[in-house]
Amino acid sequence: MKTMRFALLIPIVIIVMVIGAIIPLVVKISYLYFAGFIVLMYITLATAWNILGGYAGYVNFGTAGFFGLAAYLSAFLLESVGVSLPVALLAGGAISAALGLGIGYSTLKLRGIFFAIATLALAIVIQMIIINTPAVGGAVGFYTLRPPPPPPYTNYLEFLFVVMLGIALASIVTSRAIEKSKIGRGLIALRDDETAAECMGVPVFKLKLLAAGLSGFFMGLAGAPYPYYITYMEPISVFSLDISVNAVAMPLIGGLGTWIGPLIGAAIVAAIQQAVTVTIGSELNLVIIGVLLVAFVVAAPYGIVGLIRERIRRLS
Amino acid sequence: MFPTELLVNSLAAGILLGGFYALIAIGLSISFGLIDVVNIAHPTFIILAGYIVYMLNLITGIDPVILGVSLSPIFYVLGVVVYGAYNRAFEKRGQEALMGLVFFFGILILIEVSLLLRFGVDLRTIYAPYTMESISLGILTMPLRLVYPFIAGLIIVLVLYLFFSKTFIGIATRAVSQDDLAVKLMGAKPAVIKSVAFGLSIATASIAGGLLIAMQPIHPFLDREFIGRVFAIVVLGGMGSILGTIAAGIILGVVESLTASLYGPAWALAVSFGILIAVLVLKPEGLFRR
């Protein structure tokens, strides 16, 4: 049964990818790709956050730091060195993975709170360093110039949408593979009781490091295409608070520790945010997310997936 | 090379700043260090108090420090209410480690954004009569806006030290921090003791907020700059050691002040983060014992 489900997943992913790659060639509504890119970016960030936060229970409050660092490195490589987009993507993923490993190595042996504090302070420190480094634009920022879109695409934004779709799918497949494997079971075991897991022979520290590195890698991948999306890099918006808050709120609202939870949470929260931005104004977005976050953590700590599971259990 | 006058003055400024840092960190030292409630929103409560003091000062013209102190009973009640919700939602379910942390993160965001919507991103400040004054002793010049917070910080921390070592409730709080279950078996209620301690920790945020706005302009996201600092101080000071908090505050103040004089104020912020990581890696139990 389980192998059959997995066998189904791969074709589904391929079909989604192919359809996603064809749609921009047929449907020419720029707003669709403009908003779609952000939704896919948040799906990736939420999924990446969940790999460490949901399975292993280590909370990262500084997603913006991982995201922004990769975005800046990618922008620097694309603009000043002139590398191609795939190289910039890999470099962005690699630097954020290294950041995850570095912070993980220094704090994951201790209680989870220290990792959380380190990430919380980290985002602002990286932002400060960027602001004070004129070589990467300092506080003023710099423009990035989109190259001509690779054929058959006629608009670079459409191409970027397809790239982000690929990244989002890759993160979801990775997350699902982790969940169903020994690694995922080990992470969940150490989240529930670290001492017990260690006694049973789970390589606790190694698994945590692996999760921190993978989580950072996908956060970096989500950030690396951003310079070409926004076309203007400046530290306030690239290290925006929204990113850190959404990355925590989306998996929590969807359902922690499940591969589908971040997907549901990101889709719902991003849709709400788009609607609020259009109807009321973007300032209220963070208030709504803050209220949702506190409400869910108090009343429904296992998110929407948890609520649905409970309903099914009651019915049967 | 480095002029002596600058060195002496930045050293003195660092020590003065350290006294204030001890005050902003003492609340967290109580909540995080003693009763194990990881209130990452502590600096946010300080900024909230700063803004309330700012509004009251606009209306009444009363000195911000006096306003901060008189607001502290209200903040005490606020702390008791927040702890009540935290205790009911997380401690009783045994989920405080992960969900409790996210709960305080949610509070942090809500306060920040409310302040942003109400006051905007502009810097707000209060000019007290002493804001621009300073005392001179030879080559040493000490601005009063640093001297007052230093003195106030020392007084508050010493009062709290006496409270936690001499009074019944204070000793009971330390008992809870050592063995929750044993306290329960002795017939006391840890939740009540912890709610008093948490209330006190939030009350110190009000006093710190009044002093903060007398010292420097504030903006809604200033709490972010203090998060690294307060946790660095609490961990360096030995998690819940009241006197260790003063020592750690002064160490951080001096290092930051010297960094600011040598490399520019922007890098001072990275110092607390560097110290925090270094302490966590090298000596997670801190420099001072409880």
Per-domain boundaries in chain A: 2-247
CA distance A252 to chain B (A): 9
pLDDT at B289 over 70: no
Q: How many whole angstroms separate alpha carbon B285 and alpha carbon B281?
A: 10
pLDDT at residue A229 in the model: 93
More confident residue, B287 or A63: A63
Residues in chain A where the model's pLDDT stays below 70: 1-6
CB contact under 8 Å between B98 and A125, yes or no, is no
pLDDT at residue A1 in the model: 44
CB contact under 8 Å between B106 and A287, yes or no, is no
Q: What is the mean pLDDT of residues B157-185?
A: 86
Q: How many whole angstroms separate alpha carbon B286 and alpha carbon B149?
A: 25
pLDDT at residue B290 in the model: 57
Contacts of A125 in chain B (CB under 8 A): 228, 269-270, 273
Other Cβ atoms closer than 10 A to A297 = 27
- Chain B interface, mutation test: which of A108, A287, A298, most B Cβ atoms within 10 Å? A298
Task: Report which of A233, A215, A168 is spatially closest to residue A36, judged by C-alpha positions.
Answer: A168
Other Cβ atoms closer than 10 A to A255 = 27
pLDDT band at B136 (very low <50, low <70, confident <90, very high): confident
pLDDT band at B93 (very low <50, low <70, confident <90, very high): confident
Q: How many whole angstroms separate alpha carbon B69 and alpha carbon B210?
A: 7
CA distance A29 to chain B (A): 33
CB contact under 8 Å between A293 and B281, yes or no, is no
CB contact under 8 Å between A118 and B276, yes or no, is yes
pLDDT at residue A95 in the model: 96
Give the number of beta-carbon pairs within 8 Å between A and B.
Answer: 108
Residue A152: cis peptide before it, omega within 30 degrees of 0: yes
Enumerate the H helices of B179-241 as residue ranges.
180-185, 190-215, 222-236
More confident residue, B266 or B53: B53
Task: Report which of A43, A68, A40, A89 is spatially closest to residue A247, judged by C-alpha positions.
Answer: A43
Q: Which phi and psi angles does A132 have, rounded to 5°?
A: -95, 10
Type of residue at A47 = T
Q: What is the mean pLDDT of residues B252-259?
A: 92
Residue partners of B204: CB distance under 8 A and separation at least 6: B23, B26, B27, B30, B72, B156, B160
More confident residue, B4 or B210: B210
- Tell me whether 0.90 is exceeded by the ipTM: no
Q: How many whole angstroms separate alpha carbon A265 and alpha carbon A300?
A: 13
pTM: 0.87
With 0-12 CB in 10 A as exposed, 13-18 as middle and 19+ as buried, what is B167? Answer: exposed
Residues paired with A143 in a beta bridge: A232
Q: Write the residue in B85, B98, B284 that is nearest to A59 by C-beta.
A: B98
Q: What is the mean pLDDT of residues B196-215?
A: 94
- Chain A interface, mutation test: which of B28, B91, B113, B239, most A Cβ atoms within 10 Å? B113
Q: Write the residue in B102, B231, B276 that is nearest to A252 by C-beta.
A: B102
